[in-house]
Amino acid sequence: MALHPNGVHHLAISTTDIKVQIEFFTDVLGGELKALYWMHGVPDTFHGFVELSPECYIAFVQHPANSTQRELGVTHAGNAGGPMPGGTMQHVALNVDSLDRLLEMRDRIRSRGIVVMGPIDHGMCKSMYFAGPEGLCLEIATGGGIDERAWIDPEVQQLARISNDDLQRYLAPP
């Protein structure tokens, strides 16, 4: 097996109001605040971490120069299918362990007055979509591993300019 990271430790999201983000991710999604401190080496900037599991966190960075300006398709997707510039975050998909937990999360989120779309059966997983503070596009999903034999579309492979040699290398990195 190739050497590779074993998961996402944290995803840092820029914010103009760290309290609003912490409130949402603790009250609505049930995460626990684990850290809130001055960001190392960055003047006047807060950094906060909400735990999703012992090895996975959503983090927030509140820099005094963070913009409040939002433009769909430029700074925010607006929905899970919306366009975004390359290199930007389109949406965040969080994981739960079962369909029952997904339905429990749906009910919890809706009980806070938030509209939830789904669950939707994508074949490789079941998931639901909803909006978070400051225009975040969020998803919660459940499902087993992805079987690449069923989910590598030859047409998309060709449109993405991925040769068969490239594909084999991507499927089994050195």
158, HSE (Cβ side, Cα atoms, 13 Å): 3
pLDDT of 31: 94
Mean per-residue pLDDT, 123-150: 89
Cα 17 versus chain centre, distance: 19
Structural domain includes residue 56: yes
CB-based burial, 28-38: b 16+ in 10 Å, e otherwise: bbebeeeeeee
Question: Is residue 24 situated within a structural domain?
Answer: yes
Which tokens hold the place of 37? 């401190």
Cβ burial, residue 22 (10 Å; 0-12/13-18/19+):
buried
Domain assignment present for 31: yes
Residue 157, domain member (yes or no): no
Between 91-95, 162-166, 170-174, the lowest mean confidence (pLDDT) is in 170-174
Q: How far apart are alpha carbons 53 and 10 in whole angstroms?
A: 11
Q: What is the CATH number of the domain that holds 21?
A: 3.10.180.10
pLDDT in tens, 88-130: 788 899 999 999 999 999 999 999 999 999 999 998 899 999 9
Q: What are phi and psi of 32, to 5 degrees?
A: -110, 135
Q: Which two tokens stand for residue 111?
A: 């009980």
Assigned domain for 48 exists: yes
The predicted model gives 30-56 an average pLDDT of 94
Is position 20 within any domain?
Answer: yes
Q: Let me know how long the chain is.
A: 174
Domain span at residue 37 reads: 1-68
Q: Is residue 19 part of a domain?
A: yes
61 belongs to a structural domain = yes
In the chain, the number of structural domains is 1
Enter the tokens of residue 121: 């059966």
